[in-house]
Structure 1
Amino acid sequence: MKPTVVLASILKPVDDVRLYQKIGQSLANQYPDTDFHFIGFASQTPSFSKSTNVYFHPLYAFKRLSSQRLFAGIRFFRKLWRLQPQIVVVATFELLLPVYFYRWFRKVRIVYDVQENYYRNIRYTQVFPTLLRRLLANNVRLIERFCHHRITQYLLAEACYYQEMPFMQHKATIVANKVKRFAISPQPSIPGRLVYSGTISKDYGVFRAIHWAAQLHQKHSEISLVIIGFCPNVQDWQQLQLWLEKHSFIQLIGGQKIVPHQEILKALQQAQFALLPYQVNKSVAGRIPTKFYECAALQTPMLVQTNPAWQSFIEKYPAGTFIDFDDATNTSQIWENIQQNTYYQQTPTDEDIFWESEEKKLLATWKKLI
């Protein structure tokens, strides 16, 4: 029987950019005699692989805050029982408990791919009601600590997690979420095109971006705004509809369905500027957004919410300009100023932005697991 590895997430599609396209493909190519099974949401695009040792299991199809999420662990446990893996990589905290209990019955090594600091996401964003945030965040940390002694290895997507979650440190390897080399046809940027991409959410600053762009559009009619990505929150979706009805210069791609990553890259390539209007709180302040790497690879200039932790990356090339999206009083002056700037005077190095540098760390860590 061939060695078997399961890689699973509740919130991401089976062909997730990090878990499958980066970690999974790197491992499947390196270990062709091992079967790799990917568990997650059904993908918006047909999921298939050229590799004969890769299999997809789309188990989930519910909204982020759906009650069905409570039963996802049971389905995951059943799938583990059938597949009988020797290593399980989980990228969502809820899946730690099912694999923890599975380990009571069968020998398995557990790898926790920490893509998010879920404690801080819940505690310092507005996804959940204020009175519930501390309780839910503490429950997440309790699960992570309860399972800690059974976890063989942590993969940290952000360097800041090493300090934010010190109990993981002696088992952790930082495998940053740098961009995988992609094949995309060269396209010129469209003058006046602004692009907001990724999760469409108030916490990620989408409405700050809209308000800022709307003020700019009043004085510069050539401005257009493309919003591309998935909107997981019902209230945010309803508010977004009001903005779309009010402003014809805004185009939405996706919204209530996940957008293929290649489409997002194409939109970023066509942008004169990518907008990154994050709400800088304890959830995101220390992280390097994946969009930084993507825009740098495409050499798309960015307009970024001011945050000292991002200064060294943005100013190095330079890859963009820091602005305050909450201050829409001087948008016209900012627009005139950034037209005069020259971006990417220094070309980003492969080591700075591409996945290959992280792949080496991943494979070295994996070699110790098997």
Structure 2
Amino acid sequence: MGRRKIMLTGGGTAGHVTPNLALIPGLKELGYDIEYIGTADGIERKIIEENNIKYHIISSGKLRRYFDLKNFSDPFKVIKGVWQAVSIIKKQKPDIVFSKGGFVAVPVVIGASLNKVPVVAHESDITPGLANRLSIPYCTKICVTFPESLEHVKKSKGVLTGTPIRKELFEGSKLTAMKICNFKESKPILMVIGGSLGSKVINDAVRNNINSLLLKYNIIHICGKKNLDEKLENRNGYVQFEYVDAELPHFLAAADLVLSRAGANVLFELLALKKPNILIPLSAKSSRGDQILNAASFEKSGYSMVIQEEQLNDQTLKNKLDELYDNRNKYVKNMNSSNLNNGVENILKVIEETRVKR
């Protein structure tokens, strides 16, 4: 049996890259050579090159829903990126392209289509983002995460797969987390995580209430780049990190409760790990509202509690955390009965069925 080749793409945020990493071990087992197409300075380059995967660079413009002078120049970058992608794909001859979305993916998906290479895309959120909406006409199959998402894609293209989750997330050790955090008292652990860029709203809510929260919880706070608070550096029971990678599985293993944004990747990680959680979705003022829909779906299924950003204050945060802690077993039970599990196997199956058979 000859080697198979797959080209992966996706970038802009870590959420568009880490699901690709979750697929890589399974793709290697199936005998695929794996290469990646991304931008020169996107977050995806560092993550992918650290995993020793061949990386091809193309130009791509950011697609914005708001006015910006770059909106006039960026379409030309996208067009340039399409021709670069056409050339790379023609030369590398992949059997299939897999896209995780983000603005870098648009030229790659179009470039694959022009080379008659099948494309499988994955949409994390309930409604497709702008990049995926532009890409859908050029895709062969669209893997979706939420059952509600199937209403937003053509019936012949949509497949409900769930989202791919990295194997190492299931291999964390609470003991290792306790050593890293050096907690002196045995209290329930609250983990706070605001996405790869951090969340000022969540950071402020936690830090404004730090005294009352520390009476009941030890806190692991992943606050985002340049968001450390020096005044809290040596506070007993509170540890803060800009970003974590290798430590994340250990912190999740140790967490009794999680306070988080509502990006699809983190939701499905919390579901797979059965972690009682409160979601604070990005408000519709500062996003397209996808996190609000994601959070509503998880709240309706009984997997999460939700506080809307506008309702977040000292009292609601404290009350909701206490309510969640008191009812944590109910949430774990609901998550245990979910059939939305790790999507890796489902997505690999779609890739295998869709690739060019040589």
Structure 1 gaps of 5+ residues are 50-54, 121-136, 232-236, 279-283
Deviations 1:174-218 (A, max 9, x none): 22115344322343776254322252557xxx2332233234323
Mapping for residues 20-39 of structure 1, pairs under 5 Å: 20-22=21-23, 24-30=24-30, 32=31, 34-39=32-37
Give aligned-pair identity as a percent: 12
**What amino acid does structure 2 have at the position aligned with 1:42?**
R
CA distance in 1, matches of 2:140, 2:62: 28
- The aligned counterpart of 1:95 is 105
- Asked if 1:329 corresponds to 2:338, the answer is no
- 1:111 and 1:345, CA in 2 relative to 1: closer, same or farther beyond 3 A? closer
RMSD, aligned CA? 4.3
How far did residue 275 of structure 1 move?
A: 0.2
- Asked if 1:176 corresponds to 2:162, the answer is yes
CA distance in 2, matches of 1:220, 1:115: 32
The structure 2 residue matched to 1:83, chosen from 60, 85, 92, is 92
How far did residue 74 of structure 1 move?
A: 5.3
CA distance in 1, matches of 2:276, 2:207: 20
Deviations 1:311-365 (A, max 9, x none): 34435xxxx6445661323555555555544426638549735426x51464156
CA distance in 2, matches of 1:98, 1:321: 38
CA distance in 2, matches of 1:214, 1:155: 39
CA distance in 2, matches of 1:81, 1:296: 40
Q: Residues 19 and 164 of structure 2 are in contact (CA less than 8 Å); yes or no, is this contact kept in structure 1?
A: no
Count of residue correspondences? 308
CA distance in 2, matches of 1:170, 1:253: 44
CA distance in 2, matches of 1:361, 1:74: 28
Q: TM-score, structure 2 length as denominator?
A: 0.66
How far did residue 85 of structure 1 move?
A: 1.6
Mapping for residues 276-355 of structure 1, pairs under 5 Å: 276-278=260-262, 289-305=264-280, 307-315=295-303, 321-323=305-307, 326-329=312-315, 331-343=317-329, 346=333, 348-349=335-336, 352=339, 354-355=341-342
Mapping for residues 1-370 of structure 1, pairs under 5 Å: 2-11=3-12, 16-22=17-23, 24-30=24-30, 32=31, 34-40=32-38, 41-44=44-47, 47-48=50-51, 55-57=53-55, 59=57, 73=82, 75-92=84-101, 93-101=103-111, 103-104=113-114, 106-116=115-125, 140=131, 143-144=134-135, 148=137, 150-163=138-151, 165-166=152-153, 168-177=154-163, 179-181=165-167, 182-187=170-175, 191=187, 193-197=189-193, 199-200=195-196, 206-222=199-215, 223=217, 225-228=219-222, 240=227, 244-245=229-230, 247-248=232-233, 251-254=239-242, 259-260=244-245, 262-278=246-262, 289-305=264-280, 307-315=295-303, 321-323=305-307, 326-329=312-315, 331-343=317-329, 346=333, 348-349=335-336, 352=339, 354-355=341-342, 359-360=345-346, 362-363=348-349, 366-369=352-355, 370=357
CA distance in 2, matches of 1:64, 1:102: 20
CA distance in 2, matches of 1:218, 1:311: 29
Q: Residues 144 and 158 of structure 2 are in contact (CA less than 8 Å); yes or no, is this contact kept in structure 1?
A: yes
**What amino acid does structure 2 have at the position aligned with 1:263?**
E
How far did residue 110 of structure 1 move?
A: 2.4
Q: TM-score, structure 1 length as denominator?
A: 0.64
